[in-house]
Structure 1
């Protein structure tokens, strides 16, 4: 009788850390303060990374995508076009622990999504509509920004792989963000997908059962989303927007 094959499910990427931090930290991205003592453990299928602009969360995601062989401007190992970031020095300095390593998936980078959509259009000029087969069947440029994002999530995110999302809320209304949460839940329940997402959205960071890493200054720590500045500021504003705005405007006028 043939042996039953045992396959491990998500998360596949278990840990990212410095085995021995590089001595020369003068150049970006190795100069980021957040990298001091970097040691991220991924224990759940969905991981959320939260931090202020410039904290290094996007660089971390780009580095993971690079290590996976994905295009760091967006896409995967099959998408070959100009890349907008050089994170090779950081990727070479880090240790990535997998169980097992997967080569499938996708890197969604909101900042360069326009370039990715243009790349698909260029491919369609040679391959025809088959270039759009995994993206809803039509050019992403012929849809609204938010609709194009959802076309990507609904049609391209699925199957065994690691899915990396950098600020996916950039073009999504609150209602569309709720739809994205449902897509993430379907990915998690499949048991075949690992999601690593950086976001500023209190809606997305509330995804249940996710590990949330909060980047502050030179520290990275696990936190509840209610402990983040993003949540606290948004809650204060929504509870009493008039009073909150008066306080802010008075502070700047004084």
Structure 2
């Protein structure tokens, strides 16, 4: 693992401002957030703070909030998010050794909403991939990036990577994430996917209006909803369609 916990200190007058008034973020301010496994998933409804936290960790580590690898020029010249400005990373001994110099930091931030535009821009540049992403589908492009950039020990942040992936492609992503953990990497991923969160040995943190709590895969609300929906879609659809 690269980082073992994150913390932040803020001025008391900022507690009622976004994003510090989001319960999950407020909990980090009060209690810190500890990571107990090489693979951590942040799961929750839209607005629960999972993407905000992943983005801030990326910025604190020196990754561009728009996505990309560690060590990119001009990353530190960009304005950071409010949480990214104050978030502190607490490294493991191995992580500290690997992160002393920004040039030696290894990692990547894959952000679904901005990934394809960024990937198209850097395709063929030194330090990236040779393939032309513009000639691929979003899913194929994602997997090309994952196969190329997620290949050595480092800190890898992902924000809803399943957005562009089919079922079989999600399974390939699971293999990539598992491989990273096995070689000493660390993955922190915000997701809505019951497939990804099922990786054995991963830590699952569920974010809601009460804050952050560690849960098992079977306890996840999204797993319960998907199971019930696939078992009987009409149970959900009749209410939605009647209301519409």
TM-score bracket for the superposition, by shorter chain length: 0.7 to 0.9
Deviation of the 1:114 alpha carbon: 2.4
In structure 1, what is the equivalent of residue 20 of structure 2?
30
In structure 1, what is the equivalent of residue 2 of structure 2?
12
Deviation of the 1:186 alpha carbon: 1.2
Is 1:201 equivalent to 2:193 in the alignment?
Answer: yes
In structure 2, what is the equivalent of residue 3 of structure 1?
none
TM-score scaled by length of structure 1: 0.82
In structure 2, what is the equivalent of residue 239 of structure 1?
231
Deviation of the 1:31 alpha carbon: 3.5
Alignment of 1:110-189 (within 5 A): 110-121=112-123, 129=124, 131=125, 134-135=128-129, 137-189=130-182
Could you list the runs of 5+ residues in structure 1 that have no partner in the other structure? Answer: 1-10, 122-128
C-alpha distance in structure 2 between counterparts of 1:15 and 1:133, whole Å: 29
User: Does the 8 Å CA contact 1:132/1:139 hold for their aligned counterparts?
Assistant: no
User: Does the 8 Å CA contact 2:57/2:87 hold for their aligned counterparts?
Assistant: no
C-alpha distance in structure 1 between counterparts of 2:196 and 2:126, whole Å: 27
C-alpha distance in structure 2 between counterparts of 1:14 and 1:113, whole Å: 27
Number of corresponding residues: 230
Is 1:74 equivalent to 2:67 in the alignment?
Answer: yes
Q: Say which one has the larger Rg.
A: 1
TM-score scaled by length of structure 2: 0.86
CA-atom RMSD, angstroms? 2.2
User: Does the 8 Å CA contact 1:117/1:139 hold for their aligned counterparts?
Assistant: no
Deviation of the 1:105 alpha carbon: 0.6
C-alpha distance in structure 2 between counterparts of 1:49 and 1:180, whole Å: 16
C-alpha distance in structure 1 between counterparts of 2:158 and 2:185, whole Å: 13
